[in-house]
Structure 1
């Protein structure tokens, strides 16, 4: 994985992990053990789904960056649908507190998105990539 791609995942995963740990601590104090389990499951779910989505996006658009917007929309839609399926499957569970799970999930999604935006804005990524090929207009030995 190129360093820029790893930096994007780290820039979103680290704040999300911190938010998840805070949510687990607050949930344990407010809702007990089931709340802590729900918060932990939600934080891990967000980090797993969104990190895998970022990795998939990077892999699919590495050789053809023109597809970035279309692939990004498909990946994001798939992530949201998978989160919706998980919510539907666990809506009546007694394994953890579902309200804590839902609020932690929502909060971690916002933190992940904010981390991605912040990392992208701070990245010094070139818009034009030099292929080390001579320009057709100037060529080797020609003046622009």
Structure 2
């Protein structure tokens, strides 16, 4: 992973982790230990799914740039389906408070998306490859006078 990719991941991960910590505190105050556990599970699920998605998307952009847009759409669909499967598997659980889990999942997802968008907007991404030192400079067109 290149440094700018790691920086983008970090810019999305830190605010999500901070909001997750706030959600754990609020959930613990409102719903007790099960609420705190639900908030922890929700935060970890978002960080896992969104972080893995960002890493996969960055690797695809480097190796197969022509598939970047299609891979992005497929990746977001896969992320939604993965979370849906998790929700279906744990819909009747008594391990954690499902409302705290759901609100934390929603909040941390929105924060991740906003932070990732902000990181992309602030990134200094080159749109063209800079010339290497060994390449010959292009000569100007036209006749010499």
Q: What is the CA–CA distance in structure 2 between the aligned matches of 1:101 and 1:2, rounded to whole Å?
A: 33
**Aligned-pair distance for 1:140?**
4.7
Give the match for residue 38 of structure 1.
38
Structure 1: which 5+ runs fail to align?
Answer: none
CA-atom RMSD, angstroms? 1.5
Give the aligned length.
Answer: 140
Indicate how the Cα distance of structure 1 residues 143 and 28 shifts in structure 2: closer, same or farther if over 3 A, else same: same
SS of the residue aligned with 1:62? Answer: helix
Asked if 1:4 is matched to 2:39, the reply is no
Q: Which runs of 5+ in 2 are unaligned?
A: none
Give 1 or 2 for the bigger CA radius of gyration.
Answer: 2
- Which ranges of 4 or more aligned residues in structure 1 deviate by more than 2 Å? 130-134, 139-144
Alpha-carbon separation, structure 2, partners of 1:92 and 1:105 = 17
**Mapping of 1:124-139 within 5 angstroms?**
124-130=124-130, 132=132, 134=135
Other structure's SS at 1:92 match: coil
TM-score (norm: length of structure 2): 0.91
Q: CA deviation at 1:39?
A: 0.1
Structure 1 length as normaliser, TM-score?
Answer: 0.91
